[in-house]
Structure 1
Amino acid sequence: MNSANIDVARTYFQAVQAGDLAALGELLDADIVWHQPGANRFSGEHKGQGAVFQMLGSMMETSRGTFAIDEIRTLMGNGDLVAATIHFTGSHDDASMSMDGVDLLRIENGKITEMWLFSADPAAEDAFWG
């Protein structure tokens, strides 16, 4: 099961990098629970595909389309969990961020049912998002 879940995670990250919303819609469970880190306007628990897409759209709007996962370094599986070490960037106005992160995906029946995100520098990410 680990390899199948790693394949789902890899496909998810490829869709994110390509901006393929249709593919993301196929990969995210309708009732996904997304745990966005920090203490900024996007932080907290987002429930359901609609809420997740709204948050991601607002992040892209805030970053003027620059928010991106530019590197997927490692994918590791353990049962229904896949951990990914990544690097992400973004900029807006005079602010920018570039940092490492870890995304933890729970995958059940080929769908991402839960997502936890971790940032290497939560204070810098909070400052960026406001």
Structure 2
Amino acid sequence: MNNIDIAKAYIKAVQTGDQATLGSIISPDVIWHQPGNNQFSGTQRGIAAVGTMLGKMMEVSGGTFSINRVDHYMDNGDWVAITLEFAGEANGIKLKQPGVDIIRIEGGKIAEVRLFSSDQKQEDMFWGQ
């Protein structure tokens, strides 16, 4: 699989909750940069820490948080940028906004993830402190 194929498999697995695929394409040593100033912000290291964080995010959003649209996949060497839209409901806020996920692929696995939101202030309120 090339890097775009890996990125597409990752997004599809996130959208469908396919934990087996996520486990097979995310490096055990992944570095995950969650943006903003909320309870999930900061850098998580390792698949266990990332999995715990993502599970808590689904709890906070009552399972509503999702990537509901993907527009483009663009690669540059080991990096793939994905333009998308994400949505959900939490803390009385209905969230729906464009974002960019940037992933670094090393040895066929996702080694690093950086996320960008178009309205970080709204996303911070959505996730809470």
Instruction: Write out per-residue CA displacement over residues 65-105 of structure 1, whole angstroms, 9 at most, x where no aligned residue.
Output: 00000011100000000000010001035221100000000
CA–CA distance in structure 1, aligned partners of residues 68 and 38 of structure 2: 22
Q: How many residues of Structure 1 are paired with residues of Structure 2 in the alignment?
A: 128
Give me the identity figure in percent. Answer: 51
2:21 to 20, 23, 35: 23
Q: Which runs of 5+ in 2 are unaligned?
A: none
4+ long deviations beyond 3 Å? none
Aligned mate of 1:115, from 100, 113, 116? 113
RMSD: 1.0
SS in 1 for 2:38: coil
SS at match of 1:9: helix
Equivalent of 2:48, from 42, 47, 50? 50
Corresponding residue of 2:71: 73
Larger CA deviation: 85-94 vs 28-37? 85-94
* TM-score normalised by structure 2 residue count: 0.97
Matched AA of 1:83: A
TM-score (ref. length: structure 1):
0.96
Show structure 1 runs of 5+ residues with no match: none
Aligned equivalents of 2:37 and 2:58: distance in 1?
18
Asked if the contact 2:91/2:127 (under 8 Å) is kept, the reply is no
Identify the residue that residue 37 of structure 2 maps to in structure 1. Answer: 39
d(CA) in 2 for partners of 1:17 and 1:124?
Answer: 22
In the TM superposition, residue 122 of structure 1 has moved relative to its aligned partner by 0.3
Number of the residue aligned with 2:58: 60
What code does the residue aligned with 2:48 have? G
